[in-house]
Amino acid sequence: MSGNDDPRRLVPGVDRVLARPWCGQLVEAHGRPWVVARVRAVLSAMRAGVVQAPETDGALRDLVLAEAATAAEAWVRPVVNATGVILHTNLGRAPLATEARSAMAAAAGYCTVEFDLAAGERGSRYERCRRLLAEMVGAEDALVVNNGAGALALALAALAGGRGVVVSHGELVEIGGGFRVPEVVEAAGARLVPVGTTNKTRTRDYARALSGGQAGAVLKVHRSNFRLSGFTEEASVENLAALGARAGVPVIHDLGTGLLADPAALGLEGEPTPAQSVAAGAGLVVFSGDKLLGGPQAGVVAGAEELVRRAKSHPLCRALRCDKVTLAGLEATLALYRDPARALQAVPVLRMIATPAEDVRGRACAALEAMFAAGTPPGAATVVEGESVIGGGACPGVRLPSALVSLDAGDRLGAWLAGLRAHDPPVVARGRSGSLLADLRTVDPADDSLVATALASLSGGGPPAS
């Protein structure tokens, strides 16, 4: 190939591209250094042969604008969750109530996070949430930190730092993201004292471990992300609290999920609540704010006033504290629980769990009719029986009967799922055996028509998703 035939000779220099009027508009919008980096990325791809060198200014403009659009796109973007997984960790777990969203937006500016308006002086950032949590859980005091694992680490460090923590072998669980209870205990500066066996741990196993006087706390962990059944036995919180009282050692109950609503109202009989744990005598109960509680990511430490005070005064508390926006969202969410019936409707997680399968089926059928009206061929889509799950490390084994919009995708399944993700806004669904499945249980009803339009665009109705 001669030099004149080399397509790389068509690649312009950076300065020539920056001199184009359309590039000048990019510079005005994003700044020169950022645009220079985008232009260089495009030109480098041309020289490497990854992208064909354009022959017209319009083609060059399109390449640079496409690179700029990709680079400028926010990483954290709203999506429509049609997976049927209510607490989808990868999608941000609990979607927030309208009241929580408004409160968080209002708190983004100056706010009274640590200012007492009545006294005109510094106040406590924990006070409002503390009062609400004490009211909801029946605890003497409460503290909010940045997440559930942080709440557990702080409780362990404050109560058992440098001492032993007695835990059942059957509760040495992995809590997500590869992190495990033994590692959290170690990071908190405490010493793990495992007792019992994987399937059976009795009260006397704990008593034996406490007899040496070296333990600072007993830790009971709710197995919220898996089930243990069959030949099993475990000590109750009541028995451990009585044992701990005799030994002068507090019991920490890590519940994880943070269910504040009535389990029976959600069909979750058997799921423990923080209120039950406190009533049973746990010195501290710790749980997450963004699971079944339905609020923003946060961790709660609630229980006896003296034990919470020790947690508040520990240096780790400062490192784990959450910001004003989180506190505002959590406060607004907790306030909804003052009226249990209202909470079941206003907190999206609770509403999704409580929605009857026949209601989901009605919405799915309406979406299917909208797809047919938009041009989806008859027979290409249908409504099928299915199941939703709670997810997020909560309520393992619980399956919620649902109804799914199913598209026969065949070998196009991967491309169709990608097409939904490329939709504006992105729609995340799931696939199985050549069928694309959309579960409207996890979709805000206001977005049903959006999902129908996106699905229709894949199955022959309307313009392609973009």
Domains in the chain, CATH or no CATH each: 3-72 (no CATH), 80-87+354-458 (3.90.1150.110), 98-346 (3.40.640.10)
Calpha distance 136→256 (Å, rounded): 16
The mean pLDDT of 243-261, rounded to a whole number, is: 95
Give the model's pLDDT for residue 4: 55
Share of the chain above pLDDT 70, in %: 96
Residue 344 CB coordination number (10 Å): 18
Peptide bond into 194 cis (omega under 30): no
Q: Which residues on adjacent β-strands are paired with residue 204?
A: none
Q: Would strands 215-221 and 251-256 be described as parallel, antiparallel, or unpaired?
A: parallel
Asked whether the beta carbons of 427 and 458 are under 8 A apart, the reply is no
Residue 407 CB coordination number (10 Å): 26
- DSSP three-state, residue 263: helix
Tokens 């129908």 found at: 452
What would the pLDDT profile of 127-158 be if each residue is shown by its tens digit? 999 999 999 999 999 999 999 999 999 999 99
The mean pLDDT of 257-277, rounded to a whole number, is: 93
Contacts of 84 (CB under 8 A, 6+ apart): 386, 387, 388, 389, 402, 404, 430, 437, 439, 441, 442
- Mark out the alpha helices in 422-462 (DSSP H runs): 448-458
Secondary structure of 209-226 as H, E, C letters: HHCCCCEEEEEEECCCCC
The mean pLDDT of 416-439, rounded to a whole number, is: 95
Q: How confident is the model at residue 39 (pLDDT cuts 50, 70, 90)?
A: very high
Share of the chain above pLDDT 90, in %: 82
Tokens standing for 109? 């500016």
Q: Which residues on adjacent β-strands are paired with residue 445?
A: none
Calpha distance 103→101 (Å, rounded): 5
Tokens standing for 185? 């205990």
pLDDT over 60 at 466, yes or no: no
pLDDT over 50 at 193, yes or no: yes
Q: How confident is the model at residue 107 (pLDDT cuts 50, 70, 90)?
A: very high
Give the model's pLDDT for residue 179: 80
**Rounded to two decimals, what is the model's pTM?**
0.88
Tokens standing for 83? 């997976």
Pick 377 or 5 by higher pLDDT.
377
Give the model's pLDDT for residue 1: 45
